[in-house]
Amino acid sequence: MEIRKNILPRKTLDTIQPYSPGKPIWEVQKELGLDRVIKLASNENPLGPSPKAVEAIKKSLSELNRYPDADATALKTAIAEQYGVTTSQIIPTNGADELITLVSEAFLEQGDEIIVPSPSFSEYDFGAHIMGAKVVPVPFAENFEFDVDAILAAVTNKTKIIYICTPNNPTGTIMAKADIEKVLNSVNDILVVIDGAYSHFADVPEYTEGVEFAKAGYPVIVLQTFSKIYGIAGLRVGFGIAPEEIIQSVLKVKEPFNVNALAQTAATAAITDTEHVKASREANKAGRELFYKTFKELGLKYTESEANFVLVEVGPNGEEIYKALMAQGVIVRYGKTWGLPEFIRVSVGTPEENEFFIEVLNGLLAKQA
Ligand SMILES: *Cc1c(COP(=O)(O)O)cnc(C)c1O
C-alpha cells in the first residue's frame, strides 16, 4: 500500500467536477417503479434518428471487421458540400464533446484562460481543467442575453479561447451575427469557438452558426454535432469547421480512429436527410410554442429559445418541482447545476410527451396554489 501514495494524479484533476448527465429512462423506471417515464432532459431528437442514417448503418454492418477510415473522407466530403468549405477545413470527431477536449489539448497551456459566457455547456470547463487552464465565467445580461462588452472586458493577455455557445445551452439565447463580428474584430490571437450544437433550431434572421467567419479566415472554429437535430447521439459524431491551420493543429492530438465506422456511415447519410431535418425543426417549433403558451398560463417566467429546450423559472421550490416531476415520470434537467436553483430546463419532446409534461406540471402547480 506504500506505493499507492506515490501514484499521484495530476494536481489539476482536483478542479474537475464529474459530468452530471440526464437520468436515463430505465433508471427512473427501476428506482421509482413507474411504467411511463419520459425523458425531456438531454435535448435529444424526439422523432428518433434520421431514417436515412439507420438504413445506411444496416447495409454496412457486415464490414465491421474493418477499421474505420482514419480520415473520414466520405463524411468530410458530405460536410464540405453542405457548408461550402474544403475538406481540409473540417475535422470529424467522436461527438462534439471530443472536439472540445481536442481543442483544449491543442491550444491551452497551463495558466491560460478561457472565457465562457455563463451558464453554459460544462465541457468547456472540463477541457480547460484537464489542461490546467483557468475558466473565466462572464455572466449573461438581463434575460440571459449575451453581454458582449463584459466578454470583451474579461479578455486578458492570458486569454486563449473565447467560447460562444449559440444558441446557448441551457438558456436558448443566441449571439447575433453583428455581435460575433464585434467580438472577432476586437480581439487578436484568441481562438473563438462557436458552438452551434443547436444551430438548426434557430430561426431568427440575425442568427449565424459562424461558418462564414471560418471561411473568411478569422481564428474561429465552428462546432457541430449529429446528436441533436440528426438524432444520432448514441453513435457519437460531431465535427469542427475552421481555417486549415487551426484544423492542422487539432489533428495533431486526434487519435487515428476517433470516429467509428457506423458513426461515419450514419452521419454521411444523415447530413443529406433534409426531410428528417425539416420535420424535426417544425415539430420543435410547435413544441416550443406550446411550452410558452403553457408557461404564460401558469404565470411562469421563461426565456424564448432558439434551441430545442426551454429554460423556465419555477420558483424557490425548484428542487421540489424537479423531484416531483421525476416522481411522476417526467425527467427534466434541474437548474442548480448552472447556479439556477429556481429554474428547470425542459427539452421539447413528441406532442404526446409535451402534453404529458404539461399535465403533470399543471397538477403540481395547482396543488401548490
Ligand atoms: C449536446 C451538445 C454538444 C455536443 O454533443 P455531442 O453529443 O458530444 O456531439 C456540444 N455543445 C453543446 C452546447 C451541446 O448541448
Compute, in angstroms, the gap from residue 98 CA to the centroid of ligand 1: 9
Q: For a ligand 1 pocket test, name from 19, 104, 121 the mutation site with the most ligand atoms within 8 angstroms of its C-beta.
A: 121
Tell me the pairing of strands 220-225 and 238-241: antiparallel
Cβ 135 vs Cβ 267: under 8 Å: no
Task: Give the Cα separation of 305 and 289 in Å (integer).
Answer: 10
- Topology match between the domains 11-48+275-368 and 52-272: no
Fill in the amino acid letter for 299.
G
Q: Measure 100 CA to ligand 1 centroid, in angstroms.
A: 9
- Find out if CATH 3.20.20.70 is the number for domain 11-48+275-368: no
Pocket of ligand 1 (CB under 6 A): 43, 95-97, 121, 165, 169, 195, 197, 225, 227-228, 233, 238
Average pLDDT over residues 3-11: 81
Ligand 1 atom closest to Cα of residue 165? 13
The per-residue pLDDT for range 269-297, each reduced to its tens digit, is 999 999 999 999 999 999 999 999 999 99
Do 88 and 244 meet the contact criterion of CB atoms below 8 Å apart? Answer: yes
Which of 7-21, 190-204, 241-255, 348-362 shows the lowest per-residue confidence on average (mean pLDDT)? 7-21
Name, in order, each residue with C-beta under 8 angstroms of 322's C-beta and a sequence gap of 6 or more.
314, 332, 334, 344
Gap from CA of 103 to ligand 1 centroid (Å): 14
| pLDDT cut 90: percent of the chain above it | 90
User: pLDDT, tens digit, for every residue of 84-99?
Assistant: 999 999 999 999 999 9
Report the pLDDT value the prediction gives residue 22, as an integer from 0 to 100.
Answer: 74
Q: Lowest-pLDDT range, 8-12, 132-136, 154-158, 261-265?
A: 8-12
Best of 193, 228, 337 for a ligand 1 pocket test (most atoms within 8 Å of beta carbon): 228
Q: For atom 5 of ligand 1, which residue has the closest CA?
A: 96
Pairwise CA distance, residues 341 & 335, whole Å = 5
Ligand 1, closest atom to CA 93? 9
Question: Packing angle between helix 318-327 and helix 25-32, nearest 10 degrees?
Answer: 80
Mean pLDDT of 10-21: 85
What are the pLDDT digits (tens) for 57-69?
Answer: 999 999 999 999 9
Domain range summary for the chain, segments of one domain joined by +? 11-48+275-368, 52-272
Quote the CA–CA distance of 277 and 230 in Å, as a whole number: 7
Which CATH number is associated with domain 52-272? 3.40.640.10
d(CA 186, CA 332): 38
Nearest atom, ligand 1, residue 238 CA: 9
Angstrom distance (rounded) from CA 232 to CA 267: 8
Residue 1 has pLDDT above 60, yes or no: no
Residue with cell 480547460: 128
Task: Please report which confidence band the pLDDT of residue 2 belongs to, taking 50, 70 and 90 as the band edges.
Answer: low
- Residue whose Cα lies nearest atom 2 of ligand 1: it is 197
Whether 102 contacts 93, CB under 8 Å = yes
